[in-house]
Structure 1
């Protein structure tokens, strides 16, 4: 699992799926606002002029030399909820990301559960 203290070191590392196939480059890690533990990462994918950021859980991520391996298939991550590279994640859209991956999500209306690091 990615440790909060190490997050800045992993930016721009390759993110690979459970079979070692490259998904994209790590852009940011979002931590839980209640525990400060890493929950999701955004991965920069797409052509250079059409980059977008897709979300992937990092609860089971493994960090290696030059890569971060997630436990989700590349095809699943590529279809995950996404943002433009300059966009901000609205609080009301956080739940859809957790739902996409079949994860529990509980937050009050308008409350943020994730904070970007």
Structure 2
């Protein structure tokens, strides 16, 4: 992801999969504890959906969209940790393993 993007600018923007299909809307951005760089985005999927975490290091913010290099179904089936809380190292490891 571009390093000159303020992570707060991502919130409220549409997230799309590698085919351009809408996944949802960026709800929150999580920073790396050591570097302070944006590491994960929580994407709200659907009206009554949940937040799915996507890695920002492999994603691109272009125009007004966050493009993630995964299929929509993979993102929607990602581990669910809820939002508004700190991701533990174990949860991050689980997400990294999930996304390969």
TM interval, short-chain normalised: 0.7 to 0.9
Residue aligned with 1:24, SS: strand
- 1:27 equivalent to 2:27? Answer yes
The equivalent of 1:88 in structure 2 is: 85
Unaligned runs of 5+ in 1: 103-117
How many aligned positions are there?
99
The answer for unaligned runs of 5 or more in structure 2 is none
Partner-residue secondary structure (3-state), 1:18: coil
- 1:94 Cα deviation after fit: 2.7
**Coordinate RMSD, CA, aligned:** 2.0
1:83–1:17 distance in 2 versus 1, CA, 3 Å? same
Give the 3-state SS of the residue equivalent to 1:98 in structure 2: helix
Q: Measured at CA, do residues 4 and 97 of structure 1 come closer, stay the same or move farther in structure 2, by a change above 3 Å? A: farther
Partner Cα distance (2:59, 2:99) in 1: 14
The change in CA–CA distance for 1:2 and 1:30 in structure 2 (over 3 A counts) is: farther
1:98, distance to aligned residue in structure 2 (A):
1.6
Distance 2:86 2:80 in 1: 9
